[in-house]
Structures are given as C-alpha cells and as structure tokens.
Structure 1
Amino acid sequence: MQDQEEEKISTLALVYTPGVGSVMIRQLISYCGGASNVFKADYKKLIKIPGIGEKAARTLLTKQGVEQGRKEWEDCQKRGIRLHFYTDADFPRRLKPLYDSPLVLYSQGKMELNAYRTVGIVGTRQVSDYGKAVTETIIKDLVPYKAVVVSGLAYGVDITAHRACLKHQLATVGVMASGLDVIYPAIHNKTAQEMKQNGGILTENPLGAKPDFRRFPARNRIIAGLSDVTIVVESARRGGSLITVEFAQNYHREVFAVPGSLMSPQSEGCHQLIKDNKAAVFTTVDEMAEAIGWNRAESKIPDPASTSPDSVPVFDGFTQEEGQVLSLLKRQGTMQLDDLSWQSGLHLGKLATLLLNLEFQGMVRSLPGKKYALV
C-alpha cells in the first residue's frame, strides 16, 4: 500500500517538475518502470531515454517537484478528493487511449466514470428559452437510458443541463477549468455541491488553479473524451462549443446539433455544423439512440478485467491482452478499433500490432471502417 502511495506521489511530482510535459512523463514512466523509479534513475540512464534531453535530465535529478507533489497528495486526502492516475486500472477507459489524455484527474462525488453510456451536452452561455426547453427535454428523455451527462458547469446550456439532471435524478459530471477548490463561476457552487450526490465534479487541474483562457479548451477535450456522443444545443458561429466538437471528431465520437430558428444567432453554430456535415441533426433522444446503436438494457461498460466465466471465455495459448481482446470480440461481435481501444484500455498503437498478430494466427479478421471481428 505504501509503495502504491509513493508511486502516486511520484507521478504528481513529475507533473510539478518544470519543463517536463505529459508526453515526456509517459515516456519516463514507461522506460523506468514506474514514476518512483524515475527519481531513482541516474543521469546516464535518463539521458538514454528517447525524448529526454540534457536539460530535462538535470532538472529531474534536482527532484524539484517531489515536495510539491507530496503536499498536493496530502491536501487531497484531507479534503476528500479522489485522484485518478492514468496508470490506474479504474482510470476512465474512454480517456486512457487518447493521445492527449490527462495524466491525473481530481474528482469529488459519487460518479461512475466508466458508465455504459455517457452524453456530453454543451452550448452557448447566452442560452435562449428555446435552448433551455430543449435541454430539459433531452435530460428527461435520457432517463430510461441511464446515461451519465457530462458538461462544463458554465453559464447557459451547461448549468441548465446539470440542474435538469438533478431534477430528474440523472447522474451528471461537471468538468472544470480550475482546481476543485475553485468553483467557477462561484454562483454555481450550490449546484456543484448537489451534483456530488449523483455524479460530481472533475478536473485535471491542481488545487488552487484559477480558470484561464488555456484551461477552457483543455477542459473541453475532457468533456469530448468522456462522452460517447456530444449534443450541441445552441451555439454561436464562433462559440466555444465548437472546440468541443473538434475534439469529439478527432476522437471519432458522435456529434449531434439541435436545429433552431433561422433568425436566432444562438443557433448559427449548430446550423453550420449540420451544413458542414460535422454533426447529425438532433431530433429526439430515441432517434439518436437508434442511430448510434444504444440498447436500453445495458447500464455499464463491460469490465475487461472481469473473470466471470459467462462474460469472459478462456482463450488458451494467448497472452492476457490477446485474450482480453478476443473476449471483447466474442461478447460484442464486430467492433471498431477505437471502441476496442477504450474498452480494453490498450493504446491504439499497441492494439493495432496485437490485432495484426491475431490476424496472422487466423483468430480475427479486419473489416472496412477499421472494424474487427472473430474469424
């Protein structure tokens, strides 16, 4: 237990080390076999790691981030803040394979980050009465699907969605562009506290972090990454919601846009998304669910670590990771590469190599559209 705690503290220390970014941190942990081993490595070992230059190696040897990382860990324990590290088994499986996945997430509440269905609802801060009514209807109609609603706790569509979820007892997660101890805007603090009973608040930012122009787009990528489908309710032509859409498309996630009045500036962004084929037209939740293949019977992402004989058949002669992929394909049939990646927790590059080997062994076959199935 103490070793696990030290590993988490060491990961935080790397995050706080000047000049060491997320890509470099992943490289360091991979080559050294753990975050704590990075700080035990000497200069000769560090300099041999691809992408680690002399400056970064010398900075790591000073262990500048260790004290700050330990303090952050202790502060989180005192405040009841949960830390999710990308190396943890329960780290959000939708985020883990992404090229820009957060290294650490901070959360408070009772949330299921690996829920079977997640919906991102975003839109303008200057939401109209029409936008509020549509958002309320979407939330109410999502209840039978037991979807977790993800949004950004901002003015307008975001807070309307969160409050509608509270009203209809649907789980909702607010992704913040600040530390968990800095609720922004402050007027939404009461709603944020209420959300902790069925969902909660989430961020990648350390305690005390103030929201700034760089953190909002970064926040939007997490909303897109956590969501199977993103619905844009209202957006101006240059609205911030369009940034979320760009991330969602990069992650190969579904996007729907709500059409509005041709006279409404709040709907110009939605109409442009539809016109540019960047979003499907949203009509009803049921029609959206049918379009993306939802089934009301499921409630949680199948756990790839499950050992139930009924859910995970045994594949003798294969590695654990190969068996995991084969089990997913046997249980779910044809699957897209991205779905396989986030359900298995395997990085896309590694998964592609693994699938190629399984093809050579005559176990799986590739299909058009980056889809795979058992032979």
Structure 2
Amino acid sequence: MPDQDLFYLLALLKVDGVGDIMAKKLLNYFGSAEAVFKSKGSQMAAIDGVGSVLLQNFKDKSVFEKANQEMEFMKSGGVKVSFFKEDGYPERLKHCIDSPVLIFTSGNINLANKRIISIVGTRQITSYGTEFCRNLIEELAPLDPVIVSGFAYGVDIVAHQRAMDFNLQTIGVLAHGLNQIYPKSHKKYMVPMEENGGFITEFWSTSNPDKENFVRRNRIVAGMTEATIVIESAEKGGSLITANLANDYNRDVFAVPGRVTDKYSQGCNNLIKTQRANVLTSAADLVYMLNWNVETKAKPVQKQLFIHLETEEQKVYDFLLKNGKELLDIIALQCDFPIYKISGILLNMELKGVIRPLPGKLFEAV
C-alpha cells in the first residue's frame, strides 16, 4: 500500500466517531480515505449515520499528526499492514461486517490455501484440558492447519506451544499494539512464534491491553478462522464470547465436553446443550464435520505390503481387514486404544491411504 494511502487511512480511523463500519461506508462512497477528507460536508452528510457531531470531528487536524507518528513506529518496528480489500488480508475476516479496516502484523504469516482454526478456552486450564489440547493438535498436525489463539495464559499458550512443537503456523491475536507484549511472561515465546507464524492486531502502538480490547480482539479470532474450538471454559468467560461471535459469523464451533461437576467444563457443556457447538471428542470429529477431505488414492489391498505401518497402525489395519467397516469407538475398544489415541492413528493411516473414513464415524480398510 502506498504511504499516502496508508497515511489517510490511519487518519480516518483516528477521527472520533469513525469505527470500522462507518469507515467502510465512507470508503465505499468516496473511493479512498484521502477523498473522504477532501469531500464537502454536504456530500458526507448524505451518508447514513453521519451527523453534525461527526462532521465537526473531521475538523480535528490532530488526526494527521497521530497518523504520522504511527507510520514512523511501523517503519522502525518492521510492522506490516493489511487493508481489508487487499489480498493479504485474512479472507474469511473480509466477510465480517465489523472486521478491522486495517490489521497490523509481525512475523511470517501466510494464510493462502490454509486450513485455519482457532483454539480458545480458560486461562485456568486443567490437566484434562492440557492433555486434550496437546493430543488434538498432534493428531491434526499431518493436515498442516494454522492454529490461531489469543496468546493469553492457559489454553491459548498451550495451543501455540503445541503448534510450534510440530512446526505448524500459529498466530497470536493481540489486544494491544505491537510495541509490547502481554502477558509479559510470554515474551520468551515471541521469537519462535514469529518464526512459525506471528502476531495480528488492530490496535495501534498507543493502545494498552485494556479489558474492552480483549472483547474486540475476540471477533478477529472468530472471524478469520474456519472453526472455533473451546477446550475448557467456566460458565462465563471470554472464550464463550468468541464462540458466540463465531456463531454470529456462521462459523463452525466445537466444544470439548466434560464432567458436569467440573467448573471449567460448564461453559463447554452449556454450548453443546444449547446447540451452539458441536461435540468434539477427537480430531476425527473435526475433520469429518469440516469436510477436510484427505486426498488419497485408492490402493488394492495387496499394496499394503509396500507401505510402512507402525505397530499400532498395523494392529488397527488387521482388525479392519478382518471385520470390514467399523465405528471409531468399536475400533478403539477392540484394539485397546483410548479414543484420543485411536483418532490420531486413524488419521495417519488415512494419510497413508490404507483406510478411508465413511459417514457416521465409520472406517474401512482400503
């Protein structure tokens, strides 16, 4: 984006009363931010929502100085910027009416032709949530998804770390500018995060991690991804806001069920009970519900001799070869594997082309 265009866009967003929705109205009407500032008041007044107060606010010339200061910060800090009409802007986020006009990024983010999911949940993650999150990402790793979260304590940082364990691209959506990091204890993750993905924010370098910013941040987490997964949540929490936003954006939502007596399963159980989320018990559920077709070539049974199968995979293959189509739960029971483990085994076997998934959580040998 040319510096002049960016300068006027930044200035437009600093006009008091101009939010993302109003900014888009003005840009669509006048064609550019520069044209907005050079337009006559009578022209602007023709736009729905523009009143005398907003027209008066456009007379504030300090917005240009603020825009200039932010541009200097961006240049000195190597910050990249994406405009909501440009190719580099997250595709799904473009279709959200309240998406940011501009997002600022750092790192090596590449979202082209990627499966993108967000993983959110409580900051007070339990051992149950930690194990599920780590196993889920390990099972999904062969499909090379992008893992998006909020870089906070608990579920967020567990998801980011596990993604990096498998060299998956992972993106932290921040509730403040790129001149700082919150929480400060996560500063040690910044470099590996930027090597494996990076950070996204709509906030300027003058923004602090204020409470209301986290709610605004959540709409980016929900809007830029294909699906939102809630690992654990109390009855109330920010992750439930993200789940509700995802539903509003017509995205898929998944929740991990837990015991009714567990505090940090109440939010997930309520999402499932009120049909605002699909039940998620394994990676296979996600792959099936999102229709992530794993490209495989049908192979005659004889060719399985030329494919290397791990001991556990061979056990499952022999069982399916003998019994034909079978349910995931039955496979786990008969082969003596826990559900979370059998899901990963089946996914790897599917990638190798020796089994195929069928509707209703059935699998069969190829």
For 2:46 and 2:211, locate their aligned partners in 1 and report how far apart those are by CA, in whole Å: 36
Highest Rg: 1 or 2? 2
**CA deviation string 1:58-101 (max 9, x = no partner):** 32244331121122112101100101111323211101111111
Look up the SS of the partner of 1:131 in the other structure.
Answer: helix
Cα 1:42–1:62, aligned 2, differ >3 Å: closer, same or farther?
farther
Structure 2: distance between partners of 1:280 and 1:238 = 19
The match for 1:348 is none
Aligned to 1:323: none
Which amino acid letter does the alignment assign opposite residue 143 of structure 1?
Answer: A
Deviation at 1:44, TM superposition (A): 3.0
Pairs within 5 Å for 1:248-259: 248-259=246-257
Query: Could you tell me which amino acid in structure 1 is paired with residue 150 of structure 2?
Result: G
Q: Of 158, 162, 165, which aligns to 1:164?
A: 162
Q: What stretches of structure 1 of length at least 5 have no aligned partner?
A: 299-375
Count of residues in Structure 1 that have an aligned counterpart in Structure 2: 296
Deviation at 1:208, TM superposition (A): 3.1
* Letter aligned with residue 53 of structure 1: G
* From 57, 60, 77, the counterpart of 2:58: 60
SS in 2 for 1:39: helix
Contact 2:176 2:201 in 1 (8 A): yes
- Other-structure match for 2:244: 246
For 1:113, the equivalent position in structure 2 comes to: 111
1:211 to 209, 212, 228: 209
| Residue pair 2:116, 2:146 contacting (<8 A) in 1 also | yes
Separation (CA, whole Å) in 1 of partners of 2:36 and 2:74? 23
Q: Does the CA contact (< 8 Å) of 1:43 and 1:58 recur in 2?
A: no
Q: Which residue of 1 aligns with 2:26?
A: 28
- Residues 267-346 of structure 1: pairs in structure 2 closer than 5 A: 267-297=265-295
Deviations 1:260-308 (A, max 9, x none): 233321111111111111111111112321122112359xxxxxxxxxx
> What amino acid sits opposite 2:23 in the alignment?
I
Could you tell me which of 88, 91, 104 is aligned with 1:90?
88
What is the match of residue 134 of structure 1?
Answer: 132
Secondary structure of 2:195's match? coil
For the residue of structure 1 that corresponds to 2:94, the secondary structure is coil
Q: Answer yes or no: is the 8 Å Cα contact 1:39–1:63 preserved in 2.
A: no
Q: What TM-score results when the alignment is normalised by the length of structure 1? A: 0.76
Distance of 1:121 and 1:173 partners within structure 2: 11
Give the letter for the 1:23 counterpart. Answer: I
Q: How does 1:214-229 map to 2 (within 5 A)?
A: 214-229=212-227
Does 2:28 correspond to 1:44? no
CA contact (8 A) 1:85 1:91 kept: yes
**Which residue of the partner structure matches residue 313 of structure 1?**
none
SS at match of 1:15: helix
CA contact (8 A) 2:15 2:60 kept: no
Aligned partners of 1:95 and 1:167: how far apart in 2?
27
Q: Write the letter of the residue equivalent to 2:198.
A: G
Q: Which residue of 2 aligns with 1:12?
A: 10
2-side partners of 1:130 and 1:123: how far apart?
A: 12
The equivalent of 2:79 in structure 1 is: 81
Higher mean C-alpha deviation, range 60-69 or range 262-271? 60-69
Q: SS at 1:247's partner residue?
A: helix
| Alignment-mate amino acid for residue 277 of structure 2 | A
Contact 1:115 1:148 (8 Å CA) reproduced = no
Question: How far apart, in 2, do the equivalents of 1:23 and 1:101 lie?
Answer: 8
Q: Normalising by the residue count of structure 2, what TM-score does the alignment of the two structures yield?
A: 0.77
Cα separation, 2, equivalents of 1:78 and 1:296: 43
Counterpart amino acid of 2:139?
Answer: D
Identity in percent: 39
Deviation of 1:110 after TM superposition, in Å, equals 0.5
The structure with the largest helix share of the pair is 2
Deviation (angstroms), 1:118: 0.7
Q: Aligned equivalents of 1:47 and 1:259: distance in 2? A: 51
